[in-house]
Amino acid sequence: MADVIDLTEYGEAFREDPHPVYARLRELGPVHRVRLPPPEGYDTWLVVGHEEARAALADTRLVKDIGAVDATFLEEQVIGKHLLITDPPQHTRLRSLVTRAFTARRIEALRPRVQQITDELLDAMLPRGRAELVEAFAYPLPITVICELLGVPEIDRAAFREMSNEVVAPTSAEANAQAVDRLGAYLTELIEDKRCAGPAGDLLSELIRTTAEDGDRLSAGELRGMAFLLLIAGHETTVNLITNSVYALLTHPDQLAALRDDLDLVDGAVEETLRHEGPVENATFRYAARPLRIAGTAIAPGDPVMIGLTAADRDAGRFPAPDRFDIHRDTRGHLAFGHGMHYCLGAPLARLEARTALRTLLHRAPGLALDGPPGEWLPGMLIRGLRSLPVRW
C-alpha cells in the first residue's frame, strides 16, 4: 500500500489555496494516496496530472455506481439514480432521455431571458454603489434561470439554497445527511404536484412525460435523481464560475484592463477562469471495478479514485506558466467540465450565463473594484468558490 499523504495537515491553508499543495504533489508524481480533510476524512486515490486525469475521466474500468463495488450510499437511497452515479448501459439510457428535453435549442432560446434577468439584477444593485456580489448577483442569476427552466416555484428558492449549499459544501456529515433527506422529500412532492398538474412547458414537466421510441420513461426515483442533479449542478457551479471570474479579474488588473478595452474577450476570460480557478475542484468519486494501474500506480478493486480537475488544469506540462491568469491563453483541453461520457450536460448553459453576467457587469459598472477582503472559500473538495465577494463601483 502506498504511503498516505494527509491533506488535513495543511489545515485552513489548503482550503484557502490548494494550488501549491497540488503543485508539490505533481512534482512527486501524477497519482497519490491521500487522506481527505473533514467532513469526508477518509482515504482515496487522487489524480493530479493532466494527461492522467483526462485518461481516467474516460476509463470505463473506473465506475461511478458504488453499488457495482460496494453497498449503496445515502444519496442514491434518498434521492435516486442520476447521471453522476450511473454507468452504461443505465447512464446511456438516462442521458438519452434527458437530452430529449435538455436540448441545445432550448438553451439558446434562454439567451434573451438570461440577459433580462442579468439587467434586472444590476438595475437593483448598481444604484447602491456597493454590494456583496454573491448575494446580489452571482447567486440569484443562475438560481432564477434554473428554477424557471425546471419549473421550481419562486417561494421555495431560499430554502433550496440552504439545502443545496450543504449538499455540495458540507459543514458536517450530519448536516449533509439532513440536507439530502430534505431535498429528497421536497423533490418528491414537487414532482407529484407537476404530475397531477399536467403539461406546463417547463423542463421537469417535460421530463415526466418524455418517452423514448421503445416506450421507456424515467421512473419516479430517476425523475427525482435527475431533478436533484439539474437543480444542484445547474446553479452551484455557475454561481462560483461568475464569482471566481470577477475575483480573478479584480485581482489581476492587467487582465481586467484588457477585457474592459475589448469586451469581446469575455469568452476567453470565462474559459481561463474555468482552467485557472474552475468551480469544480475535483470530480465526484469513481471506483475501481477491477485491478488497474494509473501512471504505473496499482489501484485495487473497490478503491475510490478522485480526479483533480483543478490540479490537472494547472499542470505545466499542458498549460505553460499555469499559475498565471491570462485571458488570451489557449485553454483548449481544460477539464473544468470533465471529459468523456460524463462531460457536463449543462456546460452550454453555464457558459451562456457566465459570459452574459461578466460582459454586462463590466459594461454597466466600469469602475468595479474590490470593497474589502473576500469571504472564506467553501469547505470540502468538490466545489471551489467564495462565500462572499464585496465590491464597489
93 burial level (CB within 10 Å; 0-12, 13-18, 19+):
middle
- Using CA atoms, how far residue 144 sits from 38, 64, 141, 230, in Å, is 31, 30, 5, 13
The per-residue pLDDT for 66 is 82
CATH of domain 4-392: 1.10.630.10
Q: Residue 76's pLDDT is what?
A: 60
Residue 124's pLDDT is 98
> C-alpha grid cell for residue 212?
423514448
- Kindly report, residue by residue over 312-364, the tens digit of the pLDDT: 999 999 999 999 999 999 999 999 999 999 999 999 999 999 999 999 999 99
pLDDT, position 164: 84
Mean pLDDT by 10 residues, the chain (393 residues): 87 94 97 89 94 97 82 61 89 86 86 98 98 96 91 75 83 86 88 83 84 72 87 89 98 98 97 98 95 96 96 98 98 97 93 98 96 94 95 97
What does the pLDDT read at residue 337?
97
User: What does residue 367 show for φ and ψ, rounded to 5 degrees?
Assistant: -95, 20
pLDDT at 81: 83
Instruction: Report the 3 state secondary structure along the chain.
Output: CCCEEEHHHHHHHHHHCCHHHHHHHHHHCCEEEEECCCCCCCEEEEECCHHHHHHHHCCCCEECCHHHCCCCCHHHHHCCCCHHHCCCCHHHHHHHHHHHHCCHHHHHHCHHHHHHHHHHHHHHHHHHCEEEHHHHHHCHHHHHHHHHHHCCCHHHHHHHHHHHHHHHCCCCHHHHHHHHHHHHHHHHHHHHHHHHHCCCCCHHHHHHHCCCCCCCCCCHHHHHHHHHHHHHHCCHHHHHHHHHHHHHHHCCHHHHHHHHHCHHHHHHHHHHHHHHHCCECECCCEEECCCEEECCEEECCCCEEEEEHHHHCCCCCCCCCCCCCCCCCCCCCCCCCCCHHHCCCCHHHHHHHHHHHHHHHHHHCCCCEECCCCCCECCCCCECCECCCEEEC
Q: Beginning with the edge strand found earlier in the chain, give each strand of the sheet holding 304-307 in spatial order.
A: 4-6, 31-35, 43-47, 304-307, 286-288, 62-63
Answer yes or no: are the C-beta atoms of 137 and 121 closer than 8 Å. Answer: yes
The sign of the dihedral angle between the CA atoms of 322, 327, 331, 336 is positive
User: Do 378 and 239 meet the contact criterion of CB atoms below 8 Å apart?
Assistant: no
Q: Which three cell numbers stand for residue 244?
A: 471566481
Q: What is the pLDDT of residue 355?
A: 98
The predicted structure's pLDDT at residue 155: 66
